[in-house]
Amino acid sequence: MQELLTALKAAAEPTRLRLLTLCAHADLTVSDLTGILGQSQPRISRHLKLLSEAGLLDRMREGHWVYYRLARRGTGAELGRTLADALPDDDPQINLDLARLDTIREARAAKAEAYFRRNAARWDEIRALYVAEETVEQVLMDLLSGTRVGDLLDVGTGTGRILELLAPEAEHAIGLDQSREMLSVARAKLDRAGLRNCELRQGDMYQLPLPPHSVDAVTFHQVLHFGEAPAAAIAEAARVLRPGGRLLVADFAAHELESLRDSHAHRWLGFRDADVRDWFLEAGLKPGEPVTLPGDPLTVVVWPAEQPATLN
């Protein structure tokens, strides 16, 4: 009861209710919220601190920035969503706040598109070497079909495409990436798609910011060939998988295009089935049957694995 009372007291103030509503629609910084509400940074920061301490908002650090979003778990999360949805659609103050939020979203999208355009040629150069992305994406969807996905984690989420594809089938989805620029691209994409069950975090695939056995599915899409220690990344993914959870790794089969090391910073020239299988077994996972998608000159493989229903 005390937890609920604390959350109710924290929300029962006009500015904090406005903040709660805004953070239900997007991940926002203090600077974003200061601009929307027209109040001082110290004042906004105090309100955010109260809302966070009451369990109504999650506070996520991204480099030098801190983003606030509606809490995803606990009593505060349920109450926050209820309060945000209960506000009347014709409230003039809330409508003005949301209009200003749209302006921030548009600026984010423009910045993300500029970054994407600067790098699109490099990505297109790689895509031309293998099977169409739509084919790979369909395999990922097929492999997860029929699986209950409460919580999904996409490691190295990049532009957020895998979240955009798979999040509608999940209750909650997290995209993790080390690059703030790529997270900005993903944030703009998810905003446009209206995927409110998604969140983005800056983090390291070797030290996932999640407790053990906390997600139902983990995906690595064209990520591991950049990593120094793919086996360690797989072991870390296994750590956060719940019993019966699924791991999907989509990457290149072993190849000899040495130019990708220099031109595109690839650490590994693809992977052999036997090596990926060994990494799965070492992590305590049950390997599934790989799906091979031949291309010219690169072949993509989707390697599935499952966390045993009974953990040792």
User: Start-end ranges of CATH 1.10.10.10 in the chain?
Assistant: 2-101
In tens digits, the chain (312 residues) has pLDDT values of: 677 777 778 778 899 999 999 998 888 889 999 999 999 999 999 999 999 998 889 888 766 778 898 887 777 778 888 888 888 878 899 899 999 998 988 887 777 566 556 765 666 667 777 888 899 999 999 999 877 789 999 999 988 999 999 999 899 999 999 888 888 888 888 888 888 899 999 999 999 999 999 999 999 999 999 888 899 999 999 999 999 999 999 999 999 888 887 777 788 889 999 999 999 999 999 999 999 999 889 999 999 999 998 766
CATH 3.40.50.150 maps onto the chain at: 129-306
Fold category of 129-306 in CATH: Rossmann fold (3.40.50)
At residue 62, the pLDDT reads: 62
Q: Which residues contact 95 (CB under 8 A, 6 or more apart)?
A: 89
User: For residue 14, with 0-12 CB atoms within 10 Å meaning exposed, 13-18 middle and 19 or more buried, which class applies?
Assistant: exposed
- Beta-bridged to residue 149, according to DSSP, are 170
Measure the CA angle with vertex 153, ends 263 and 274; round to 5°: 60
CA-to-CA distance for 154 and 82, rounded, in angstroms? 28
Class of domain 2-101: mainly alpha
The pLDDT assigned to 77 comes to: 79
Nearest 10 degrees: Cα torsion 264, 269, 275, 276: 40
Q: Which helix (H) or strand (E) holds 116?
A: helix 92-127
